[in-house]
Amino acid sequence: MIKLENIERRYISDEVETTALLDVNLAVASGEFLAIMGPSGCGKSTLLNTLGTIDRPTSGQYWFGDTDLAAMGEKDLAKFRAAELGFVFQSFNLIDELTIQENVALGLAYRKDVAGNKAERVAAAMDTVGIAHRARHFPHQLSGGQQQRAAIARAIVGQPKLILADEPTGNLDTANGEQVMNILTALNDDGATIVMVTHSPSHADMAKRRIDMLDGRIVASAMRAI
């Protein structure tokens, strides 16, 4: 489904040039659950952001199906994100002024192609993550675990082909972390493709495949023994 070829990402500022990704080649098949691990600053998040098209590679190709995303304009990329991707962040990134239900519905707000009853889809997504009873609450009224589940609901409400999770359990305690991982696993079992950045080896173990990064390169790749 996804193929990255010779991806390179350099940040150039006035004085220094930083290479965040170097010679990254990666293929993610449909239905896969991929965990990306590595020490801080190794390029995990940059890789995830590149996959999510909110960061653009300096060179290389990014194939999503038959489309080269690296060559696509901003406007089309925005449309692409709205239709095909779901994001989950370590810091949840819910909008404070909107209720949980409205935050989840925001996942459909920029979709022009979704017809029919959006409310039902929002309700279904909230059900999936077990947050429906908190629909009318505001983010600050919820625990971290509940907020992250709401963020997952927002990510899946548009039924994206790919879910990108950037340390989804990083801000959560163990119990809440487990709960979130169980949801992601279940989503994957139902057919969702997931790419997740994590520091936690045990959570990485719950993915089907794991890659390790160091200094902007992929240094190891391993399939989970089933």
Partner 1 sequence: MNRFALLSLYRSLTRHKLYAALNIGGLAVGIAVFLVLGLYVRFETSYETWLPHYDEVYLVQTDSRVPDQPFSGRHHWTMGGLLEQLREDFPGIVGTRIEPMGASIIQDGVAVNEDLKRADDTFFDVFDLPMAAGEGRRALADPGNVLISQSVAERFFGSSDTAIGQTMTATIDHETRSVRVAGVFVDLPPNSELEFTMLTRLPDDADSPWWSNWGSTSLQTFLRFSNREDARQFEAATNAFVNRRATDNYEAPASDQIGINLLPIADWHLTPEGREPDSRRQSVATLGIVGLLTLLIAIVNYVNLATSRAALRAREVAMRKVLGADRAALIRQFLTEAIATVAIAGLLALIIVELTLPFINAAGGLELSIAYLGGDGVVVPLILLSLVIGLIAGAYPAFLLSRYPAASVLASAKAPGGGRAGTRTRQALVAVQFALAIAFMIGTAVLFAQTQHLRDSDLGFDREGLLLVRSMYLLDDEAQRRAVQSRLEALPSVRFASMSDGVVGGGTSTNVDSFAEGGSPPISMRRIAIGPAFFETYGTRLLAGRYLDAQHGMDDATSLEWEEPQNVVINTLLMRSLGYSDPAEAIGKQIGRGAPPRTIVGVVNDMRFLSPREPVDPTYYTYYEEPKYGVMTLRFTGDPRVTTERAREAWTSVAGEIPFEAETGTESLQEFYEDDERATRLFAIGAGLAVLIGMVGLWGLASFNTARRVKEIGIRKSLGASATDIVKLLVGQFMRPVLIANIIAWPLAYWAMRTWLAGFDDRIELSPVHFIGASLIAIAIAVLTVLGQSLRASRTAPSWALRHD
Interface with partner 1 by CB under 8 A: which residues? 45-46, 49, 52, 54-55, 74-75, 78-83, 85, 87, 89, 91, 93, 95-98, 102, 105-107, 109-111, 154, 166
Closest distance of CB 22 from partner 1, Å? 18
As a whole number of angstroms, the distance between CA 53 and CA 141 comes to 31
Closest distance of CB 111 from partner 1, Å? 7
Tell me whether residue 96 or residue 225 sits nearer to partner 1 (CB atom).
Answer: 96
Closest distance of CB 135 from partner 1, Å? 14
Closest distance of CB 155 from partner 1, Å? 9
Tell me whether residue 102 or residue 215 sits nearer to partner 1 (CB atom).
Answer: 102
Tell me whether residue 106 or residue 124 sits nearer to partner 1 (CB atom).
Answer: 106
Closest distance of CB 225 from partner 1, Å? 33
Tell me whether residue 32 or residue 166 sits nearer to partner 1 (CB atom).
Answer: 166
Strand order in the sheet with 193-197: 85-89, 162-166, 193-197, 33-37, 209-214, 217-223
Tell me whether residue 151 or residue 206 sits nearer to partner 1 (CB atom).
Answer: 151
Tell me whether residue 66 or residue 96 sits nearer to partner 1 (CB atom).
Answer: 96
Closest distance of CB 109 from partner 1, Å? 5
